[in-house]
């Protein structure tokens, strides 16, 4: 295992464990763009290949779990990893392979984005893998970032309809072993889009305007990746989450500058530069 020493002045090395989006808007592609935009070096472990564009997912190919393990060991055996972001894992075998690797290599920070359904309503996690994700990975996570349907699936209960319910469900996920939960409020029927960061010491509301633009492909991937990139560069998880949310808001606000596809377009990861 490569030792990880916190250094707020160093360029962090951040590992994305996720699926590939051939359209470039979500998954590994979004992760690496967000890392780069926020001053981190990105490494990657591919858990699935998707045939995907802005209009939907047409096919998924998953590698053998042993090959996922080989990728993980190759990265950790050579590169100091300061934070890990986990996205699409596809099936229970890959979930367990990732959990085993995290237990072997013990990275300092793990951001778990509980990817289950694509924007086009295509299943990205097998039903039998939900329990494995909850039981194997949740207790290893520094932060879990579910949207409201994903939190409901993990808890086997109806989705939160208001902010009080969001906080209660975040606390329930803490009880399952996560060290912190970011409940994302994008699915709320409200004028704004609040998130709640729930930790053992309490809950913090991260407010935010709901940007009236349709280009939201990859927003969940981008937010979790931004947090993973910023955790080694900030003094607290709350600061990393707040800055990541501001970055994502800017990426959505500037998304109309891109002209990508004829469906739900991507956000503009590099809006500060071009």
Query: 3-class SS at 35?
Result: helix
Judge whether 216 counts as a catalytic residue: yes
Integer Cα distance of 259 and 76 in angstroms: 37
Q: Which of 62, 221, 245, 249 is catalytic?
A: 221
Judge whether 220 counts as a catalytic residue: yes
Check residue 27 and give left, alpha or beta (phi > 0: left; psi -120 to 50: alpha): left
Judge whether 219 counts as a catalytic residue: yes
CB 28 within 8 A of CB 89: no
How would DSSP label each residue in 114-136? ---B-TTS-B-B-HHHHHHIIII
Q: Which of 19, 24, 27, 220 is catalytic?
A: 220
Judge whether 119 counts as a catalytic residue: no
Q: Which of 119, 218, 249, 265 is catalytic?
A: 218
Q: What is the side-by-side order of every strand in the sheet holding 195-199? A: 56-61, 41-53, 13-21, 83-86, 110-112, 143-144, 180-184, 195-199, 202-206
User: What sign has the CA pseudo-torsion 99, 227, 193, 19?
Assistant: negative
Integer Cα distance of 227 and 157 in angstroms: 27
Query: 3-class SS at 177?
Result: coil
Q: Which of 145, 216, 222, 249 is catalytic?
A: 216
Q: Which of 33, 85, 119, 184 is catalytic?
A: 184
Hey, which residues are catalytic here? 184, 216, 218-221
């Amino acid at each position: 295992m490569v030792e990880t020493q916190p250094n707020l002045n160093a360029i962090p090395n951040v590992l994305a464990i996720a699926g590939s989006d051939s359209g470039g808007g979500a998954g590994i592609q979004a992760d690496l763009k967000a890392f780069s935009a926020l001053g981190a070096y990105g490494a990657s472990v591919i858990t699935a290949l998707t045939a995907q564009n802005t209009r939907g997912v047409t096919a998924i190919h998953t590698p053998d779990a042993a090959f996922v393990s080989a990728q993980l060991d190759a990265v950790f055996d050579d590169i100091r990893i300061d934070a890990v972001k986990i996205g699409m894992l596809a099936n229970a075998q890959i979930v367990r392979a990732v959990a085993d690797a995290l237990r072997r290599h013990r990275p300092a920070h793990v951001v778990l984005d509980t990817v289950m359904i694509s924007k086009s309503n295509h299943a990205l996690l097998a039903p039998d893998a939900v329990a494995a994700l909850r039981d194997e990975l949740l207790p290893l996570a520094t932060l879990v970032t579910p949207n409201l349907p994903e939190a409901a699936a993990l808890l086997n209960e109806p989705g939160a309809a208001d902010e009080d319910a969001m906080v209660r469900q975040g606390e329930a996920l803490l009880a399952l072993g996560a060290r912190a939960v970011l409940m994302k409020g994008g699915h709320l029927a409200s004028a704004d889009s609040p998130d709640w960061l729930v930790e053992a010491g309490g809950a913090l509301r991260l407010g935010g305007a709901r940007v009236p633009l349709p280009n939201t492909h990859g927003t969940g991937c981008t937010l979790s990746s931004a947090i993973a990139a910023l955790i080694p560069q900030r003094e607290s998880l709350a600061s990393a989450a707040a800055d990541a949310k501001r970055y994502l808001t800017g990426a959505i606000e500037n998304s109309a500058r891109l002209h990508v596809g004829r469906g739900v377009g991507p956000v503009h990861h590099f809006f500060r530069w071009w």
